[in-house]
Amino acid sequence: MLQYPELEKYLKYHFGYDHFRPGQRQIIEDALQNRDLMVIMPTGGGKSLCFQLPALLKPGLTVVVSPLIALMQDQVEALRTNNISATFLNSSLNSYQVRSREEAIMTGKVKLLYVAPERLISDRFLPLLDVVKEKIGLANFAIDEAHCVSEWGHDFRPEYRQLRLLKKRYPHVSTIALTATATDRVKADIIEQLGLQQPSIHLASFNRQNLYYEVRPKSKRSYAEILEIVRENEGSGIIYCLTRKKVDELTFKLQKDKVAALSYHAGLSDKERAGNQTKFIRDDARVMVATIAFGMGINKPDVRFVIHSDLPRNLESYYQESGRAGRDSEPSRCTLFFSFGDVKTIEWSINQKTDPQEQLIAKQQLRQVIDYAEGTDCRRTIQLGYFGERFPGNCGNCDNCRYPKPVQDWTIEAMKFLSCVARCKERYGMTYIIDVLRGGKNQKILLNKHDQLSTHGIGKDKTVDEWRMLGRSLLHQGLLEQTNDGYSVLKLNPLSWEVMRKQRSVSIAVPMVQKLSLEDGHGKAAEVEVLVQKLRALRKQLADEQAVPPYVIFHDSTLKLMAQVQPKTLDEFGELSGVGSYKLEQYGDQFLTEIQAYCQEKVVQLQTNNQSSDSAFDHYPSDTESSTLELYQQGFSIREIAEQRNVRTSTIVRHLSDLIEKNKQVDLNQLVPLEHQKKIWQVLEVLGDISLTPIREHLGQDYTFDEIRLVRARWRKEKRKAGQF
Ligand code: ADP
Ligand code: ZN
């Protein structure tokens, strides 16, 4: 029996979601019963909701401890777009701001307070918290990124250690600790360090079903492949590189290929980094090329792909980094480019370590990464196995499951390869051996008289890449060795000799050429995509007006639903997953108008299929546009029309712009001063038909989005008339 049958209702009302994600309901029920909680969920699992919903349902203030300023701001912004009263206190605020926020807390209006650990436990703050407890009540402590408390985690922060003080001072306030780190060691540490009392422990599966995992061989063509992935995807992506230099090079190349890419690494100033990050979060840049310095605390839910162009250090990091894709549960892609050269680089750096124990661990971790990259089993099975989770395989959403590599018998080839190593007296590396096999006659070969060996030229039937693949596989399978002195000289071992004596056969997995897109674009899907694009543009504009990231307005998944369902009324709109009561009120009308306009355009296009295409723009304003036009022609101002129709002024401006584009009688001169019209027109001539934000950036604060939108409509109409598009 459900203890709290109404929870779904509150979920829909406050957050707009229809169902709880796995685990959420149980956790929330426990929280409502004031139990201490240890929540372990993968990135994107939906941890925040586990303390946010109880915060709204319980009396008093919920204090959320968060390690990063960016994280706090993000969550508070997202909460506010759902009309939930939340605020944060951190070092980015001046003392006046701090005081006024503290006062707001004292009035009892604030439900969630985000705060950095060092502030929370400061002598100045704790007395304040005592007063809050007396006057308002304390609902919960939520410790986000709780692994920061543990030295065994990957992100230890000493300030977190002092949080144990909270349990001593407020023994009756329950604590919810949350993390995405799954190892037992860290889990035990968190419970111990925070002094959790008989916590209810929730360990969610680490399987991220929506992520497609693939590994590709790294080669000269890799850049072209990266570009293809970037171009195939509409949304945002992160590309990780090992060094700053590589980051800058790749960013430069992508920019040259007209991709809106930015860099992020420790070599940039704080300001540049923060600026680039904001641009990425707000969808002003689409691709972030970064070292692993980037990512922690990035809450962007609509990252569609994460590419590792270099090998990650260990599987845990790979899981976390690639896991930044698809937090919104939409299909997303994780691609790892693998090369043996990278393995060499990492091996070299491991060998620089002085502590033998550390060396051993690092080597083992590297081995696991190689096994993942070279493995022919389901990638999920390998990853989840690493976290101690059993997964049966056949996930259908990784390269190995979708394109099983046929295993071929390469015993003869292996014999040729190994004999060549033997004939060359185990003194050369892979490149040289392959040269000899393929009958190369370079100076070194001639000098060594290796063109006279019986194995010279016996491998002309295979390409260099094929031989290389065999060579790696032999190394991986332990049928061949390689020195660790930086020269990578190939050495034989007893197993090699077994192969050469035909006592052992050799099979290798041969990859096929693969190309796939995550969704196939048949008619309906492509059509939906057109509408999604329009809704995306509207979302971006609204976000810019409020200076928030687009995803806090609506998630991609909600835009997709809008395009698929194409609701006709506000009620229908409100039923979509992701539309809560407040967002319905705030944005319902605007999105509905956009959807209706699209549907009508489609009808018109069908009707006028045989006529010239721009006639569609000359007629047929939508119903809501017609109402606006009528009022406008009666002489009402934009503000008055908005009031009468009970919508935002920006909606009216949007109507008027569309009407201008559709060649209706709207006098632009009454709406935008002539000087401004001229300037905006000039910029449009230079920049072309692009979104409002870059145009505004060009023009500066004196120009409003509304003005630009209106002039752009006129400009579009003229251009269309002139047949320029
Ligand atoms: P985590 O902190 O575990 O990485 P978040 O709390 O940021 O994950 O949640 C990931 C995304 O999933 C967020 O954008 C959130 O709004 C969304 N989400 C959370 N719970 C639900 C739900 N029940 N239904 C749909 N989306 C949800
Ligand atoms: Zn699989």
Give the CATH H-level superfamily of domain 529-611. HRDC domain (1.10.150.80)
CA of 279 to the centre of ligand 1 (A): 22
Tokens of 667: 């006098």
pTM over 0.85: no
| pLDDT (0 to 100) of residue 92 | 86
| pLDDT (0 to 100) of residue 287 | 97
| pLDDT (0 to 100) of residue 525 | 67
Q: How far apart are CA 400 and CA 432, in angstroms?
A: 31
| pLDDT (0 to 100) of residue 38 | 96
pLDDT digits (tens, 9 = 90+) for 467-509: 988 998 888 778 998 876 657 799 999 999 999 999 999 988 7
Residue with tokens 């190309």: 515
Q: How far apart are CA 618 and CA 308, in angstroms?
A: 49
| pLDDT (0 to 100) of residue 1 | 46
CA of 465 to the centre of ligand 2 (A): 25
Residue with tokens 């196939």: 520
- Whether the pLDDT of residue 520 is over 70: the answer is no
Q: How many percent of the chain have pLDDT more than 70?
A: 94
Class of domain 4-203: alpha beta
* Domain 211-402: assigned CATH number: 3.40.50.300
CA of 342 to the centre of ligand 2 (A): 24
**Quick one: average pLDDT of 247-256?**
96
Q: How far apart are CA 64 and CA 113, in angstroms?
A: 6
Closest ligand relative to 19 C-alpha: 1
Q: Where are the beta strands (DSSP E) in 303-353?
A: 303-308, 332-338
Tokens of 297: 């605390």
Q: How far apart are CA 338 and CA 608, in angstroms?
A: 53
| Better pLDDT: 125 or 518 | 125
Residue 301: CB within 6 Å of ligand 1? yes
Give, in degrees to the nearest 5, the angle at Cα 605 between 600 and 607.
95
Please provide the average confidence, as pLDDT, over all residues in the chain. 88
Tokens of 200: 């209810």
Sign of CA dihedral 421, 423, 426, 430: negative
- Whether the pLDDT of residue 222 is over 50: the answer is yes
Three-state SS string across 27-73, please?
HHHHHHCCCCEEEECCCCCCHHHHHHHHHHHCCCEEEEECCCHHHHH
CA distances from 448 to 167, 427, 452 (A): 75, 11, 9
Q: State the Rg of the chain over Cα.
A: 30
407-509 has CATH 1.10.10.10 classification: yes
Q: How far apart are CA 177 and CA 190, in angstroms?
A: 8
User: Among 75-89, 205-219, 514-528, 669-683, where is mean pLDDT lowest?
Assistant: 514-528
| pLDDT (0 to 100) of residue 524 | 64
Alpha helices by DSSP H, listed for 81-220, are 95-106, 117-120, 125-135, 158-161, 164-169, 184-194
Residue 44: CB within 6 Å of ligand 1? yes
Q: Whose CA is nearest to atom 16 of ligand 1?
A: 46
Please state which architecture CATH assigns to domain 623-721: Orthogonal Bundle (1.10)
Domain spans of the chain, in order of start: 4-203, 211-402, 407-509, 529-611, 623-721
User: Among 98-112, 540-554, 634-648, where is mean pLDDT lowest?
Assistant: 634-648
> How does residue 5 score in pLDDT terms, banded at 50, 70 and 90?
confident
| pLDDT (0 to 100) of residue 392 | 83
Tokens of 331: 């299909």
Closest ligand relative to 397 C-alpha: 2
pLDDT digits (tens, 9 = 90+) for 307-357: 999 999 888 889 989 999 999 889 999 999 998 888 888 888 888 888 888
Angle between helices 649-661 and 705-721 (to 10 degrees): 10
| pLDDT (0 to 100) of residue 601 | 81
How many residues are given for the chain?
725
Show Cβ contacts of residue 665 under 8 Å, excluding neighbours closer than 6 positions.
633
Same topology for domains 407-509 and 623-721, yes or no? yes
Q: Whose CA is nearest to atom 9 of ligand 1?
A: 46
Q: How many CB atoms lie within 10 A of CB 291?
A: 19
Question: Residue 227 carries which side chain, given as an amino acid letter?
Answer: L
| pLDDT (0 to 100) of residue 697 | 82
